[in-house]
Amino acid sequence: MGWYADRVLPRLVDRVMRGREFDPIRSRVVGGLSGQVLEIGFGSGLNVPHYPAGVTRVLAVDPAVLGRQLAAQRLAAGTVPVEFVGLDGAHIPLDDESVDQALSTWTLCTIPDVGRALSEVHRVLRPGGALHFVEHGRSPEAKVARRQDLFTPVQRRVAGGCHLNRPVAELIEAAGFEITRLERYYMPGPKAAAYLYEGVAVRR
């Protein structure tokens, strides 16, 4: 990773994504998680304060080593042990069917091979295990979607590979999941970056 992506971007993401408007969303998304949980895109640990009591351990995957340092205080204040197990969501170093649940929050936009990453999550989940997710992605409004397509090349350069226009629900289903809960809505802010997919998808 370059200096900007490794040392600057994690700090910017931490500052932007810890806004109070994100907290109720995070609390909803982690609700119902239990047992051993794989979290892809752990970042600076912004989900740590929201883990429910049923979570016994979190296995974290994230390419930004600086994020672990930014997460130190949150980890120290939390009650759930977190083990960092990998840097790349497309290559998760865990056995097949070895985790109970999975979590992804504002992560799928940046993974280069997102289909491979979702297939990896599917592989390591136990049968019946669920992926809890909230992601920004492609809007159903044609005018907004055109802006997303237009802005995505610039967004990728300045925001660590972030895509504004990925069809999140379709990608999750294509990896072998059945979506059992899905809400789509805009957060406050520019529509091109604010259309969210929030839900739960079960391993078939």
Q: What is the pLDDT of residues 145-202, one digit of tens each?
A: 999 999 999 999 999 999 999 999 999 999 999 999 999 999 999 999 999 999 999 9
Pairs from 164-170 (Cβ < 8 Å, separation ≥ 24) = 164/109, 164/136, 164/137, 164/138, 164/192, 164/193, 165/137, 165/138, 166/108, 166/109, 166/114, 166/135, 166/137, 166/138, 167/137, 167/138, 168/108, 168/133, 168/135, 168/137, 168/138, 168/197, 169/197, 169/199
* Measured CA angle at 91 (ends 32, 197), to 5 deg: 40
Q: What is the mean pLDDT of residues 127-152?
A: 98
Query: Considering the chain, what percentage of its residues have pLDDT values greater than 70?
Result: 100
Query: Which CATH code is given to the segment(s) 3-203?
Result: 3.40.50.150
Note if the pTM is more than 0.85. Answer: yes
Q: What is the mean pLDDT of residues 88-113?
A: 97
Which whole-number Å values give the CA distances from 165 to 12, 116, 134, 137, 189, in the listed order?
21, 18, 15, 5, 16
More confident residue, 204 or 87: 87
What count of other Cβ atoms lies within 10 Å of the Cβ of residue 83?
9
The predicted structure's pLDDT at residue 65: 86
The predicted structure's pLDDT at residue 3: 81
The predicted structure's pLDDT at residue 1: 54
Sheet strands side by side (includes 55-61): 82-86, 55-61, 35-40, 99-105, 125-136, 195-203, 177-186
**Residue extents of the structural domains in the chain:** 3-203
The predicted structure's pLDDT at residue 54: 97
- What does pLDDT average to over the chain? 96
Strand partners, 181: 200
The predicted structure's pLDDT at residue 101: 98
Strand partners, 185: 196
Bridge-based pairing of strands 99-105 and 177-186 is unpaired
Q: Write out the two tokens for 62.
A: 């994230």
Length reported for the chain: 204
